[in-house]
């Protein structure tokens, strides 16, 4: 995008004919840390989430009939007994909505039609007067299944022996950069071929190969998926949805149900956490389907915690084979990785995780010779979707342990090995993209310093042993090449501004960051900016709240909208006052002239305009608009993965941890986590730090505790908080330190790039490396349970 | 939850009659922390729920005869753990109660409910085994008492007969010179269902307390005066398990070697299974660790007679 | 089966017809439309639905997960929800501390945590960090990593002691 549009880095020195710019003259709101603008609602319980909205006694309660088996043909669905139950108003099945849908690959229906592919797959939906009646009705729906052989392991699934789960794969529509392998279970195969592998191995003094595993993880937003749908007399449908993707939901559901986008309205109030699980579409299509038959009554569909665990989205499992060559002085000569993703029953979203893993498949290192295969494999597990990190925590689990292990084998300092190999400005990434300026080396150095790298600390008692570990990371926003953002800023009669955006604050602080950008761009106080939650009838378009892209992409749009409004205002004033626009500024809601020192509050300008000396009027209601879309991402060669620009940018960083391990029980206590990330420019440094801290603890929780456990028939055995434990206040590290590194992003607002996902990417391998340092055992299969550490220490067989 | 009736009986006899007459379709309710989850999940579908909490004495903690303490079955975990008499004389039980779930759940969960669910992982059970608790049971034929060790029959199975319910837990007079330590290992540091738990009680055989006793002694030389030892294991068998051979070994020889031998004997007494929380092998190995550490803490010269050093929770 | 119960919520007295199979959480959210109390798991594990209850005859309010109380069991109880912590438009010191420290992100767990922390400070005005962490072990938060929450409780405790002292 062009600099005139105003969303590039703003020159702090001088832009306007030698005169100090507005940004230089007034105290900047960028880099300040105002409290979150919706904080008061949240701490008082007044913030409205979907389940808090009131729809009156007419509300119907929806429920989904789910498959109890992992893979079967549906022979018959009999809903007659359920239909006869008093209080049941609507029952729908796959026959009502046979079309395919999906974000990157259309391989999925709202309800299973002829075949179920995972335990929990919806086969029918009911809407009834009470939740109890709906639950009872589900029991009265009779489904006959003919069991089919299952695939529960992605490596087996990718083999020719595996039963075919999607014989129709070759017919599915998909984005051009997704490469399904018809006739197999591989729904995307991303390849990188670069350099000369034989030469890479020959140059290495050590070649080491190992296999790492990551289980399925659940996002665990504290608010489960919930939505309400209602159809009006004009067949317009409103969907109130706890969603990261109101616009993507509108788009996908409208297409799947063959209705006009203008006839579907999605409203998203506050969202109780997402972490990727509320990206795309999961239960919302079913709610809309029910509403279309509910004769105008609203229908609510709310997931129980048990349903949330395995029926919406999960993070995909991964089996990673990593082979690396290194010289004795610690230079990486070659990498050959094979990633087998357990994509689950449908990979409409997961295919792009596989792609992201492929184009990031070396980790943040310069490697001359590369061979990466990233396979998205259908299995009879729950549907893999986006989760914070989008494939990066999974691949870094192996890569970052692998480097550590090789450094130890060569007698080198793992931190120095990372500094030696980490990507520097101008080096080529594995896909041939030139690395933009990055603070990765700084992050590694600062994290190591803050943890006291190389300095032992004394354990707290007998049988306790301490260790330190670190891991580096990179991650690009993973998305189509051209996802757009837009924003409007409307001035109000009193000189305050209302900003409308299509991105969602799911807790990360987007509303506040946007308020800062708008206030800065316009020249008002943050308190005078209101930022709306999303209503697709009134909010401008936003692709999705994913990929850590809002601060950067939506931030550009908001800043541009604010500057656009500012210019409109100043043009009006310049004409009314007969001044040059460059001599005018807006400071704290007042237009000021640097020549006459005259000032006028915005409230006297922005709606009714200004009166010229001759008594006529100029101006009128001010509405600023802005949009942003990256225009420079290039396609990659499908055979080599090479191309000039694979992604918009990479956010890089490093975490260092100290742990204490009980060498009898295997318990791991995380003492401290240091996070250091290059965020380009921190719009709100305190919120950046809370992202780092929260992400680190989420990463720690997955590292030590989490994983969905399936029985041999694919039934999840721990879909509840009793058996799927997440970290509590007692498990959280005793100390955290969060370090902001700022190497500006050339097209970010004030140089900012995103950091929402990154803080949980390197946490798990950093902890694994620290455990290794403490007790000399390496856990290659997440999570690092006490039992696994004990077993490794005791020489017991792996568990 | 599917609809049901909620009934509050006014007398023990009425409660018992309600349980008899509704056999198969009624459920007794105390704290509800287990029952509500199972009803919501559809695992149990009572037509009637009988709330026993309101019956006389169910929520009381009072001194009984001859130095016994009577804990009403519907007393919450917090009520028990925070009660001065429990803290002074049955600290082992207070530790076990405090090791259950979270503070706000311990305001609902009851000691009686914990026992009646008969989970092998019930945290209060090992403590109550060590304290030789007697359970008071009310039924159609009136009241009876049973030692806790005869109450647990297997996972989810108790000695309650049709129409019977637990009314109180009777704790024998506490030895004044005993030190108890409860420890458990969960996946999270505290609040998890136990993968393994162990209660250790070492009694030095000094005169029995009455409840006016307030002396606090902080240091001892104990190695040669052990009168008896109780070691009970949780979550490593179909019921809580007394490790009697380990107890005998420790009573004979409280030296470091003896402690280790006792811990190994306790591990040998365990009958663990593999489940999603832990493997049998890990559980067995952890029995030895928890028991050894528990004994060491109980024997430590620094441990107070009345308030052992260990605060419970994770080992 | 319907029961008529009397209860006091945030100082207001109510007589309500409730279903035996509904929980106090449902009564608060659906019948009284006090939606600050959140439904996170309905299994007593997450603490999002924590409220303060003074049972009939009890001296002190205690935190309880309202999903673990059947509606008729609440008869006679006095209840304070997150909405009841504001007095005369003044935020509770804990609420202020949550804002000041950045202890809320998505905000869904916040009401339950604030309520439970209020109970902690009421019974222990000067808790150690360990006591704070242990008191909050039944309140799950997936956003913040708890560190800021612990800081907020410490800050509110300091403010509370200054007010008292």
Q: Does residue A70 sit in the same domain as residue A128?
A: yes
Quick check: do B5-171 and B178-299 share a fold?
Answer: no
Look at strands A299-302 and A60-66 and give their pairing: parallel
Contacts of C67 in chain B (CB under 8 A): 36
Cα–Cα distance measured from residue A131 to residue A122, given in angstroms and rounded to the nearest whole number = 17
* Nearest Cα residue in chain C from A270: C106
Cα–Cα distance measured from residue A153 to residue A341, given in angstroms and rounded to the nearest whole number = 9
- Per-residue pLDDT band at B300 (split at 50, 70, 90): confident
Over residues B257-280, mean pLDDT: 97
* Nearest Cα residue in chain C from B102: C138
Domain residue ranges in chain B: 5-171, 178-299
Residues 6 or more apart whose Cβ sits within 8 Å of residue C128: none
Q: How many domains does chain A have?
A: 3
Predicted confidence (pLDDT) at residue C7 exceeds the cutoff of 60: yes
**pLDDT at res. B208:** 42
Q: What would the two tokens of residue A316 be? A: 């995909």
pLDDT in tens, A265-298: 999 999 999 999 999 999 999 999 999 999 999 9
Predicted confidence (pLDDT) at residue A41 exceeds the cutoff of 50: yes
pLDDT in tens, A715-765: 999 999 999 999 999 999 999 999 999 999 999 999 999 999 999 999 999
Alpha carbon of B169 to those of A546, B85, B92, B253: distances in Å?
A: 55, 14, 15, 32
Reduce the DSSP state of residue A603 to 3 states and report it. Answer: helix
Q: Does residue A621 sit in the same domain as residue A494?
A: yes
CATH of residue A587's domain is: 3.30.365.10
Alpha carbon of A518 to those of A29, A488, A607: distances in Å?
A: 10, 10, 18
Of 3.40.50.11540, 3.30.390.50, 3.40.50.620, 3.40.50.1980, which CATH number belongs to B178-299? 3.30.390.50
**Degrees, nearest 5: CA angle B48-B51-B53:** 170
Query: How many beta carbons lie within 10 A of that of residue A794, not counting itself?
Result: 15
Phi, psi for residue A328 in degrees, rounded to 5: -70, -15
- Per-residue pLDDT band at B303 (split at 50, 70, 90): low
**pLDDT at res. A430:** 98
pLDDT in tens, A463-517: 999 999 999 999 999 999 999 999 999 999 999 999 999 999 999 999 999 999 9
Nearest to A647 by CA among A432, A503, A442, A369: A432
Cα–Cα distance measured from residue B194 to residue B286, given in angstroms and rounded to the nearest whole number = 11
CATH 3.30.465.10 corresponds to the domain B5-171: yes
Q: Return the half-sphere exposure (C-beta side, CA atoms, 13 A cut-off) of residue C9.
A: 25
Distance to chain C for B103, nearest Cα, Å: 6
Distance to chain B for C57, nearest Cα, Å: 12
Judged by a CB distance cut-off of 8 A, whether residue C133 touches chain A is: yes
Least reliable range by pLDDT among A180-189, A652-661, B103-112, C153-162: C153-162
Q: Does residue A648 sit in the same domain as residue A569?
A: no
Predicted confidence (pLDDT) at residue B64 exceeds the cutoff of 70: yes
Q: Does residue A123 sit in the same domain as residue A22?
A: no
Asked if residue B135 lies in contact with residue B144, where contact means CB atoms within 8 angstroms, the answer is: no
* Nearest Cα residue in chain A from C22: A132
Judged by a CB distance cut-off of 8 A, whether residue C43 touches chain B is: yes
**pLDDT at res. A23:** 47
Cα–Cα distance measured from residue A110 to residue A97, given in angstroms and rounded to the nearest whole number = 7
Q: Does residue A351 sit in the same domain as residue A376?
A: yes
**pLDDT at res. A465:** 98
Look at strands C2-9 and B241-242 and give their pairing: unpaired
Over residues A332-351, mean pLDDT: 98
Judged by a CB distance cut-off of 8 A, whether residue B190 touches chain C is: yes
For chain B, the straight-line distance linking the first and the last C-alpha, in angstroms and rounded, comes to 38
Domain of A285 in residue numbering reads as: 52-148+225-302
Residues 6 or more apart whose Cβ sits within 8 Å of residue A359: A190, A192, A429, A430, A431, A476, A636, A641, A646, A647
pLDDT in tens, C61-116: 999 999 999 999 999 999 999 999 999 999 999 999 999 999 999 999 999 999 99
**pLDDT at res. A687:** 98
**pLDDT at res. B216:** 39
Predicted confidence (pLDDT) at residue B159 exceeds the cutoff of 90: yes
A449 in a structural domain? yes
ipTM score here? 0.98
Judged by a CB distance cut-off of 8 A, whether residue C98 touches chain A is: yes
- Per-residue pLDDT band at A25 (split at 50, 70, 90): low
**pLDDT at res. A215:** 98
**pLDDT at res. B206:** 52
Predicted confidence (pLDDT) at residue B3 exceeds the cutoff of 90: yes
Alpha carbon of B258 to those of B9, B248, B290: distances in Å?
A: 53, 10, 15
Residues 6 or more apart whose Cβ sits within 8 Å of residue A679: A651, A688, A740, A741, A742, A752, A753, A754, A755
A166 in a structural domain? no
Judged by a CB distance cut-off of 8 A, whether residue C143 touches chain A is: yes
Contacts of B188 in chain C (CB under 8 A): 137
User: What percent of chain A is predicted at pLDDT more than 70?
Assistant: 96
**pLDDT at res. B302:** 60
Cα–Cα distance measured from residue A156 to residue A164, given in angstroms and rounded to the nearest whole number = 11
Over residues B18-22, mean pLDDT: 95
The CA dihedral of C137, C143, C146, C149, to the nearest 10 degrees, is -110
Residues 6 or more apart whose Cβ sits within 8 Å of residue C151: C97, C101, C103
**pLDDT at res. C163:** 77
A172 in a structural domain? no
A215 in a structural domain? no
Q: Does residue A96 sit in the same domain as residue A245?
A: yes
A39·C98 Cβ contact <8 A: yes
| Residues of A labelled catalytic | 757
Q: What would the two tokens of residue A104 be? A: 């990157």
Residues 6 or more apart whose Cβ sits within 8 Å of residue B122: B114, B115, B234, B240
Query: Is the dihedral angle over the CA atoms C57, C62, C65, C68 positive or is it negative?
Result: negative
Contacts of C108 in chain A (CB under 8 A): 49, 221-223, 272-273
Predicted confidence (pLDDT) at residue B205 exceeds the cutoff of 60: yes
Query: How many beta carbons lie within 10 A of that of residue C96, not counting itself?
Result: 17
Predicted confidence (pLDDT) at residue A84 exceeds the cutoff of 90: yes
A665·B3 Cβ contact <8 A: no
Across all residues in chain A, what is the average pLDDT?
96
Q: Does residue A470 sit in the same domain as residue A324?
A: yes
Burial class (CB in 10 A: 0-12, 13-18, 19+), A460: exposed
**pLDDT at res. A19:** 46
**pLDDT at res. A798:** 59
Distance to chain B for C89, nearest Cα, Å: 27
Q: Does residue A639 sit in the same domain as residue A533?
A: no
Whether residue A783 is preceded by a cis peptide bond, meaning omega within 30 degrees of 0, is yes
Q: Does residue A662 sit in the same domain as residue A715?
A: yes
Predicted confidence (pLDDT) at residue B212 exceeds the cutoff of 60: no
**pLDDT at res. C165:** 59
Query: How many beta carbons lie within 10 A of that of residue A60, not counting itself?
Result: 29
Secondary structure element (H or E) that encloses residue A227, with its range: strand A226-231
**pLDDT at res. A11:** 38
Chosen domain end from A570, A595, A628: A628
Q: Does residue A141 sit in the same domain as residue A271?
A: yes
- Ordered by where they begin, the domains of chain C are 2-84 (3.10.20.30), 93-164 (1.10.150.120)
pLDDT in tens, A685-708: 999 999 999 999 999 999 999 999
Q: Does residue A579 sit in the same domain as residue A643?
A: no
Judged by a CB distance cut-off of 8 A, whether residue B66 touches chain A is: no
Interface of B with C in 11-40 (CB under 8 A): 29, 31-33, 36-37, 39-40
pLDDT in tens, A572-628: 999 999 999 999 999 999 999 999 999 999 999 999 999 998 999 999 999 999 999
* Nearest Cα residue in chain A from B2: A132
H helices of A162-257, where? Answer: 197-203, 246-256
Q: What would the two tokens of residue A325 be? A: 């060559």
Residue in A45, A507, A728 nearest the CB of C36: A45
**pLDDT at res. B176:** 75
Q: Does residue A349 sit in the same domain as residue A297?
A: no
Reduce the DSSP state of residue A292 to 3 states and report it. Answer: coil
Asked if residue A72 lies in contact with residue A147, where contact means CB atoms within 8 angstroms, the answer is: yes
């Amino acid at each position: 995008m062009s600099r005139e549009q105003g969303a590039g880095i703003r020159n702090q020195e001088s832009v306007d004919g030698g005169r100090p710019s507005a940004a230089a003259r007034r105290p900047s709101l960028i880099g300040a840390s105002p409290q979150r603008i919706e904080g008061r609602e949240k701490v008082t319980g007044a913030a409205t989430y979907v389940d808090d909205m009131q729809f009156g006694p007419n509300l119907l309660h929806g429920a989904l009939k789910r498959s109890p088996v992992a893979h079967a043909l549906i022979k018959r669905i009999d809903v007659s007994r359920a239909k006869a139950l008093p209080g049941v108003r609507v029952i729908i099945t796959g026959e009502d909505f046979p079309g395919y849908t999906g974000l990157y690959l259309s391989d999925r229906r709202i309800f299973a039609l002829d075949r179920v592919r995972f335990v929990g797959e919806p086969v029918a939906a009911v809407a009834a007067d009470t939740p109890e009646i709906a639950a009872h009705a589900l029991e009265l729906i009779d489904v006959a299944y003919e069991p089919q052989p299952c695939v529960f392991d992605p490596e087996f699934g990718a083999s020719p022996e595996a039963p075919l789960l999607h014989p129709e794969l070759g017919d599915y529509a998909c984005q051009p950069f997704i490469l399904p392998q018809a006739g197999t279970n591989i729904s995307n195969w991303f390849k990188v071929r670069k350099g000369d592998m034989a030469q890479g191995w020959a140059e290495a003094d050590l070649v080491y190969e190992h296999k790492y595993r990551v289980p399925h993880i659940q996002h665990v937003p504290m608010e489960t998926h919930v939505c309400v749908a209602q159809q009006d007399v004009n067949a317009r449908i409103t969907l109130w949805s706890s969603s990261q993707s109101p616009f993507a939901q509108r788009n996908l559901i409208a297409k799947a149900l063959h209705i006009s986008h203008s006839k579907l309205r999605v409203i998203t109030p506050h969202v109780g956490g997402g972490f990727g699980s509320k990206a795309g579409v999961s239960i919302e299509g079913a709610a809309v389907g029910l509403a279309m038959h509910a004769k105008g009554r609203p229908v609510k569909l709310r997931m129980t915690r048990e349903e949330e665990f395995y029926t919406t989205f999960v993070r995909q499992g991964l089996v990673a084979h990593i082979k690396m060559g290194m010289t004795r002085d610690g230079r990486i000569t070659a990498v050959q990785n094979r990633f087998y993703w357990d994509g689950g029953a449908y990979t409409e979203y997961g295919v792009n995780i596989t792609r992201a893993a492929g184009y990031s498949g070396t980790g943040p290192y310069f490697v001359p010779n590369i061979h990466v295969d990233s396979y998205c494999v259908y299995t009879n597990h729950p549907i893999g979707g986006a989760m914070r990190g989008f494939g990066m925590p999974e691949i870094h689990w192996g890569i970052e342990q692998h480097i550590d292990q090789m450094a130890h084998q060569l007698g080198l300092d793992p931190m120095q090995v990372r500094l030696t190999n980490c990507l520097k400005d101008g080096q080529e990434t594995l896909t041939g993209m030139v690395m933009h300026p990055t603070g990765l080396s700084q992050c590694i150095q600062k994290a190591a310093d803050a943890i006291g790298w190389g300095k032992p600390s004394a354990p707290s008692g007998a049988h306790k042993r301490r260790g330190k570990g670190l891991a580096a990371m990179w991650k690009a926003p993973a998305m189509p090449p051209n996802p757009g953002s837009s924003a409007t800023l409307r001035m109000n009669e009193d000189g305050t501004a209302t900003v409308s955006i299509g991105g969602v604050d799911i807790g990360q602080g987007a509303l506040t960051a946007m308020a800062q950008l708008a206030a800065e761009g316009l020249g008002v106080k943050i308190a005078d900016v209101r930022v709306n939650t999303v209503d697709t009838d009134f909010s401008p378009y936003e692709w999705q709240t994913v990929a850590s892209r809002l601060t950067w992409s939506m931030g550009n749009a908001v800043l541009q909208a604010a500057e656009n409004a500012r210019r409109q205002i100043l043009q009006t004033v310049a004409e009314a006052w007969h001044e040059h626009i460059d001599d005018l500024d807006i400071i704290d809601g007042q237009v000021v002239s640097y020549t006459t020192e005259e000032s006028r509050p915005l409230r006297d300008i922005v709606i009714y305009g200004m009166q010229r000396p001759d008594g006529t009027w100029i101006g009128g209601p001010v509405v600023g608009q802005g949009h942003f879309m990256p225009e420079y991402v290039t396609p990659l060669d499908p055979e080599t993965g090479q191309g000039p620009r694979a992604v918009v940018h990479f956010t890089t960083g490093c975490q260092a941890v100290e742990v204490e391990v009980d060498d009898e029980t295997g318990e791991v206590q995380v003492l401290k986590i240091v996070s250091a990330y290059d965020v380009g420019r921190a719009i709100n440094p305190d919120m950046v730090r809370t992202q780092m801290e929260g992400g680190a603890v989420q990463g720690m929780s997955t590292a030590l505790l989490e994983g969905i456990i399936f029985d041999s028939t694919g039934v999840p055995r721990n879909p509840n908080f009793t058996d799927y434990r997440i970290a509590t206040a007692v498990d959280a590290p005793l100390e955290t330190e969060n370090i902001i590194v700022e190497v500006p992003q050339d097209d970010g607002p004030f140089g900012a790039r995103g950091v929402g996902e990154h803080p949980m990417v390197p946490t798990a391998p950093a902890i694994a490396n620290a455990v290794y340092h403490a007790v000399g055992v390496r856990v290659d299969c997440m999570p690092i349970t006490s039992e696994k550490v004990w077993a490794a220490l005791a020489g017991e067989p792996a568990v | 939850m599917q609809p049901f009736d909620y009934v509050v009986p006014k007398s023990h006899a009425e409660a018992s009659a309600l349980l008899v007459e509704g056999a198969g379709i009624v459920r007794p309710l105390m704290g509800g922390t287990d029952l509500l989850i199972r009803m919501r999940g559809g695992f149990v579908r009572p037509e009637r729920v009988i709330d026993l909490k309101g019956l006389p004495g169910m929520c009381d903690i009072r001194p009984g005869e001859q130095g016994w303490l009577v804990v009403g079955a519907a007393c919450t975990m917090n009520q028990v753990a925070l009660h001065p008499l429990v803290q002074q004389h049955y600290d082992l039980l207070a530790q076990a109660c405090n090791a259950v779930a979270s503070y706000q759940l311990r305001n609902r969960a009851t000691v009686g409910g914990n026992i009646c669910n008969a989970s092998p992982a019930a945290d209060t059970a090992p403590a109550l085994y060590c304290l030789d608790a007697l359970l008071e049971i009310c039924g159609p034929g009136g009241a009876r008492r049973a030692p806790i060790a005869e109450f647990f029959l297997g996972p989810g199975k108790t000695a309650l007969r049709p129409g019977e319910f637990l009314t109180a837990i009777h704790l024998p007079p506490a030895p004044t010179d005993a030190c108890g330590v409860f420890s458990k290992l969960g996946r999270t540091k505290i609040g998890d269902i136990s993968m393994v738990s162990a209660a250790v009680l070492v009694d030095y055989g000094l005169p029995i307390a009455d409840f006016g006793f307030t002396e606090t002694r902080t240091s001892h030389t104990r190695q040669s005066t052990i009168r008896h030892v109780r070691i009970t294991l949780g979550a490593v068998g179909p019921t809580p398990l007394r490790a009697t051979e380990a107890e005998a070994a420790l009573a004979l020889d409280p030296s470091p070697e003896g402690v280790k031998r006792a811990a190994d004997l306790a591990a040998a007494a365990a009958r663990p299974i593999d489940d999603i929380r832990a493997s049998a092998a890990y559980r067995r190995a952890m029995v030895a660790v928890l028991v050894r550490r528990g004994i060491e803490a109980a024997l430590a010269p620094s441990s107070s007679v009345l308030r052992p050093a260990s605060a419970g929770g994770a080992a | 089966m319907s029961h008529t119960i009397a209860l006091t919520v945030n100082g207001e007295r109510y007589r309500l017809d409730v279903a035996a199979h509904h929980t106090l959480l449902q009564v608060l959210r659906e019948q009284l439309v006090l939606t600050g109390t959140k439904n996170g798991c309905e299994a007593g594990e997450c603490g999002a639905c924590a409220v303060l209850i003074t049972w009939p005859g009890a001296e002190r309010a205690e935190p309880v997960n309202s999903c673990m109380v059947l509606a008729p069991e609440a008869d006679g109880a006095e209840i304070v929800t997150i909405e009841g912590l504001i007095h005369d438009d003044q935020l509770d010191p804990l609420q202020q501390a949550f804002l000041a420290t950045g202890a809320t992100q998505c905000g869904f767990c916040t009401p339950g945590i604030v309520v439970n922390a209020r109970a902690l400070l009421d019974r222990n005005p000067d808790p150690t960090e360990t006591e704070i962490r242990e008191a909050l072990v039944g309140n799950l938060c997936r956003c913040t990593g708890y560190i800021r929450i612990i800081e907020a409780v410490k800050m509110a405790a300091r403010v509370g002691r200054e007010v008292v002292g």
